[in-house]
Structure 1
Amino acid sequence: MWECLADAYLNRGSLTAALKSFNKVIELNPESSYAYYQIARIKQTLNLYEQARIDYFAVLNKIPNDVPTFKGLGETYFLMAKENVKNSTDNRYLEYIEMSIKYLTKAICIRKDLCCVWKILGDCCNMVRFYPKSDPIIPIPTCILKKKFSIPDTETTIVTNQELFKLAEESYMICCKLRPDCGSYYYDLSLSYLFQYRSLSMNIQSMSEKANLTLLINKSKECLITAVNLDPSSHLFWNNLGILYAFTEINKPHLAQHCFLKSIKIDESDAVTWTNLGVFYLLVDENKKAHECFKKSQALDPEYGVAWIGQAFIAETVNMEECIDLYRHAVELGLHTEAFYGYARIVCKISNDPALKNDTIYKDYIQFLNAIPLSSDCLIKYCDRVVNNVDAFYLSGVLLEKLHLPLTAMKYYEKVFELIDDDENEVCLQSRRGYARLLSSQKQYEAAFNQYKQIDVKNSVEDIFSLAKFFYNMGKFQKCAQIFESALNVCTENEKSIVYTAMGMAISKYNIQEAISCFFKSFQCKVKCIQSLFALCSIGLLKSDKALISAVFKELDTISDLKYRFDILKLKSVYYCLEKDFDKAIRWVSKYVHEYPAETRGWIELCLCLKRSKNYDLALLIGKIIFATSSQANLAFYECVQYLLLQKLIQNRCKDPSGYLLKMFQKTLHMFPDNMTIVIHFIWLSYDSLLDKAKAKINTKLGRKQRENFETDIEINDIDGLVIQMAYLRQLSKIQKDMFPLP
Structure 2
Amino acid sequence: MAASKEVKSLLKSARSALDREDYPEAIKQCQAIFWHDDTHYLAHVLCGKAHLLLKEVGEARHQYRIAITSNEKEILAWKGLADLYDKYSPEDKDEKLEAIKTYSHILNTVTGDGEKEFNLYCKLAPLYVDVGQLEKAAGAYLYLLVSPSASGSITEKSLLFLLRHPQYSQTQWQLIEGSYKSFLSSLTETKRIEIQTLFISSCMEWIKLVEDEEVIDSLLKTVQEECEMLESKENQETLLQLEIWKCLKVLSIQPLTEEDLIAITLLLDKRGEEEEEEREGVWLISHCLVLLQSRKIKEACTLASKGTVSLPDSCEGWFVSCVCHMKAHDYEVVINNARKGLEALGSLPYFIRRQVSHSFHILLIEAQLLEGNHKQEALTSCEKLYSESCDCHVIRLYVKALIANGMIHEAEGIINDKASLLNEEKGILNELKGHLFVARGDFDQAHDKFQLAINECPQFSEYHYWAGYTNWYNGNRTKSYPSLVKAGQLDSYNPAVFNMLGHYQRHVANDINRAVKCYKKAFTIHPGLTEAGISLGECLSALGEEESAYEVYLKITEKSPPTEAREAWLRIGLYHRRHSQYDEAIKCYLKVLHQNVSDSNVWECLGEAYLSRGSNIAAMKAFEKATELNPQSIFSQYQVAAIQQLIGLLSEAVASYTRVLELQDDYVPALKGRAESYYKLSLLAINNVLDSKAVSYVSLALIDLSKAVKLKPSFISLWKLIGDSCLSLYSIAETVARVSVPSELLGNDEGLEIIGKKALLELGLKSYKCSLHLCDGKSPYLLHNLALNYYHLAEVEDDKDVSKEYLEISLKLIKNAITLSPRGHTHWNALGVIAMHSILKDYALAQHSFISSLKIEPNNAVVWSNLGALYLINDNVKLAHLSFERSQSCDPMYSQGWIGDGLVAEIFGKSEETRNFLENVSELQYHDESALGYAYWVCKTLTEGAPSHSLKAHQSLVQARDGILKYVRRYPKDSLALNLLGLLYEHEGMMKQAKESISLSLSHMKEEGGSGYLPLVMHNHARLLSVTGSHSEALSCYESLVAMEAPDVRLGQALALFRARKFSEAAKMYQLLVDDCDPDSKSQLLLALSMCSFAVEDNESCKNLLFKV
Same fold judged by TM-score > 0.5?
A: yes
Aligned to 2:1019: 433
1:564-600 deviation line (CA, Å, top 9, x unaligned): xxxxxxxxxxxxxxxxxxxxxxxxxxxxxxxxxxxxx
Aligned to 2:684: 83
- Report if aligned partners of 2:922, 2:959 keep a CA contact under 8 Å in 1: no
User: 1:304 aligned to 887, 891, 894, which one?
Assistant: 894
* Separation in structure 1 between the aligned mates of residue 641 and residue 1005 of structure 2, nearest angstrom: 52
- Report if aligned partners of 1:197, 1:216 keep a CA contact under 8 Å in 2: yes
* Separation in structure 2 between the aligned mates of residue 141 and residue 429 of structure 1, nearest angstrom: 47
Give 1:431 shift: 0.8
User: 1:504 aligned to 1077, 1080, 1090, which one?
Assistant: 1090
- 1:157 alignment partner, SS class: strand
Matched, 1:338 2:929: yes
Give 1:24 shift: 6.6
Classify 1:177/1:442 alpha carbon distance in 2 versus 1 (closer, same or farther; 3 Å).
same
Aligned to 1:515: 1102
Give 1:248 shift: 1.6
Give 1:372 shift: 1.8
Aligned to 2:674: 73
* Separation in structure 2 between the aligned mates of residue 408 and residue 481 of structure 1, nearest angstrom: 31
- 2:740 alignment partner, SS class: strand
Matched, 1:172 2:773: no
- 2:1095 alignment partner, SS class: coil
- Report if aligned partners of 1:416, 1:428 keep a CA contact under 8 Å in 2: no
- 1:499 alignment partner, SS class: helix
Higher relative contact order, chain-length normalized (CA < 8 Å, sep 6+): 1
Aligned to 2:701: 100
Classify 1:182/1:479 alpha carbon distance in 2 versus 1 (closer, same or farther; 3 Å).
same
Give 1:170 shift: 1.4
Give 1:7 shift: 4.7
* Separation in structure 2 between the aligned mates of residue 68 and residue 460 of structure 1, nearest angstrom: 65
* Separation in structure 2 between the aligned mates of residue 479 and residue 15 of structure 1, nearest angstrom: 75
Instruction: Quote the RMSD (CA, aligned, Å).
Output: 3.1
Instruction: Give the residue type in structure 2 aligned to 1:403.
Output: E
Aligned to 2:641: 40
* Separation in structure 2 between the aligned mates of residue 378 and residue 75 of structure 1, nearest angstrom: 29
Give 1:8 shift: 5.5
User: 1:372 aligned to 957, 960, 963, which one?
Assistant: 957
- 1:455 alignment partner, SS class: helix
Aligned to 2:285: none
User: 1:123 aligned to 706, 724, 739, which one?
Assistant: 724
Give 1:465 shift: 0.9
Classify 1:119/1:481 alpha carbon distance in 2 versus 1 (closer, same or farther; 3 Å).
same
User: 2:989 aligned to 379, 384, 404, which one?
Assistant: 404
Matched, 1:269 2:269: no
Instruction: Give the residue type in structure 2 aligned to 1:217.
Output: L
Instruction: Give the residue type in structure 2 aligned to 1:165.
Output: L
* Separation in structure 1 between the aligned mates of residue 617 and residue 717 of structure 2, nearest angstrom: 26
- 2:938 alignment partner, SS class: helix
Which consecutive unaligned segments of at least 5 residues does structure 2 have?
1-569, 571-601
- Report if aligned partners of 2:692, 2:736 keep a CA contact under 8 Å in 1: no
What is the 5 A alignment of 1:52-63? 52-63=653-664
Matched, 1:329 2:920: yes
Instruction: Give the residue type in structure 1 aligned to 2:769.
Output: M
Matched, 1:466 2:1057: no
| TM-score, with length taken from structure 1 | 0.62
- 2:741 alignment partner, SS class: strand
- Report if aligned partners of 2:1015, 2:1046 keep a CA contact under 8 Å in 1: no
After TM superposition, which residue ranges in structure 1, 4 or more long, deviate above 6 angstroms? 457-461
- Report if aligned partners of 2:787, 2:811 keep a CA contact under 8 Å in 1: yes
* Separation in structure 1 between the aligned mates of residue 845 and residue 754 of structure 2, nearest angstrom: 42
Give 1:454 shift: 2.7
Matched, 1:242 2:838: no
1:343-368 deviation line (CA, Å, top 9, x unaligned): 211211222212x22xxxx415341x
User: 2:714 aligned to 103, 107, 113, which one?
Assistant: 113
Instruction: Give the residue type in structure 2 aligned to 1:514.
Output: S
* Separation in structure 1 between the aligned mates of residue 732 and residue 891 of structure 2, nearest angstrom: 27
Give 1:280 shift: 2.0
Deviates most, 123-132 or 67-76: 123-132
* Separation in structure 1 between the aligned mates of residue 881 and residue 764 of structure 2, nearest angstrom: 37
- Report if aligned partners of 2:691, 2:970 keep a CA contact under 8 Å in 1: no
* Separation in structure 1 between the aligned mates of residue 1044 and residue 744 of structure 2, nearest angstrom: 65
Matched, 1:448 2:1034: yes
* Separation in structure 2 between the aligned mates of residue 388 and residue 197 of structure 1, nearest angstrom: 23
- Report if aligned partners of 2:981, 2:997 keep a CA contact under 8 Å in 1: yes
What is the 5 A alignment of 1:313-712? 313-316=903-906, 317=908, 320=911, 322-354=913-945, 356-357=946-947, 362-363=948-949, 365-367=951-953, 369-387=954-972, 389-421=974-1006, 426-456=1012-1042, 462-510=1048-1096, 511-521=1098-1108, 532=1109
- Report if aligned partners of 1:125, 1:168 keep a CA contact under 8 Å in 2: yes
Give 1:210 shift: 4.1
- 1:77 alignment partner, SS class: helix
* Separation in structure 2 between the aligned mates of residue 458 and residue 185 of structure 1, nearest angstrom: 57
Aligned to 1:675: none
Instruction: Give the residue type in structure 1 aligned to 2:961.
Output: S
Instruction: Give the residue type in structure 1 aligned to 2:718.
Output: V
* Separation in structure 2 between the aligned mates of residue 222 and residue 231 of structure 1, nearest angstrom: 14
* Separation in structure 1 between the aligned mates of residue 951 and residue 753 of structure 2, nearest angstrom: 50
1:672-698 deviation line (CA, Å, top 9, x unaligned): xxxxxxxxxxxxxxxxxxxxxxxxxxx
Give 1:264 shift: 0.6
1:218-258 deviation line (CA, Å, top 9, x unaligned): 33333323323333221112112211222221122222211
Give 1:272 shift: 0.9
Instruction: Give the residue type in structure 2 aligned to 1:218.
Output: E
Counting aligned pairs with the same residue, the percent is: 27
Classify 1:457/1:51 alpha carbon distance in 2 versus 1 (closer, same or farther; 3 Å).
closer
1:368-410 deviation line (CA, Å, top 9, x unaligned): x432233122212112223564432221222222233344333
- Report if aligned partners of 1:394, 1:427 keep a CA contact under 8 Å in 2: no
1:78-120 deviation line (CA, Å, top 9, x unaligned): 1222223333334433332222112111110111121211111
* Separation in structure 1 between the aligned mates of residue 773 and residue 609 of structure 2, nearest angstrom: 35
* Separation in structure 2 between the aligned mates of residue 17 and residue 259 of structure 1, nearest angstrom: 44
* Separation in structure 2 between the aligned mates of residue 229 and residue 458 of structure 1, nearest angstrom: 62
Give 1:216 shift: 3.5
* Separation in structure 2 between the aligned mates of residue 288 and residue 256 of structure 1, nearest angstrom: 18
Classify 1:115/1:442 alpha carbon distance in 2 versus 1 (closer, same or farther; 3 Å).
same
Which consecutive unaligned segments of at least 5 residues does structure 1 have?
201-207, 522-531, 533-743
- Report if aligned partners of 2:689, 2:969 keep a CA contact under 8 Å in 1: no
Instruction: Give the residue type in structure 2 aligned to 1:191.
Output: L
Aligned to 2:193: none
Classify 1:7/1:504 alpha carbon distance in 2 versus 1 (closer, same or farther; 3 Å).
closer
Deviates most, 430-439 or 93-102: 93-102
Number of residue pairs matched by the alignment: 504
* Separation in structure 1 between the aligned mates of residue 1059 and residue 1045 of structure 2, nearest angstrom: 22
| TM-score, with length taken from structure 2 | 0.42
Instruction: Give the residue type in structure 1 aligned to 2:782.
Output: Y
Instruction: Give the residue type in structure 1 aligned to 2:773.
Output: K
Give 1:420 shift: 4.0
Classify 1:14/1:518 alpha carbon distance in 2 versus 1 (closer, same or farther; 3 Å).
closer
Aligned to 2:756: 160
User: 1:291 aligned to 881, 905, 910, which one?
Assistant: 881
- Report if aligned partners of 1:118, 1:174 keep a CA contact under 8 Å in 2: yes
- Report if aligned partners of 1:457, 1:464 keep a CA contact under 8 Å in 2: no
Give 1:501 shift: 3.1
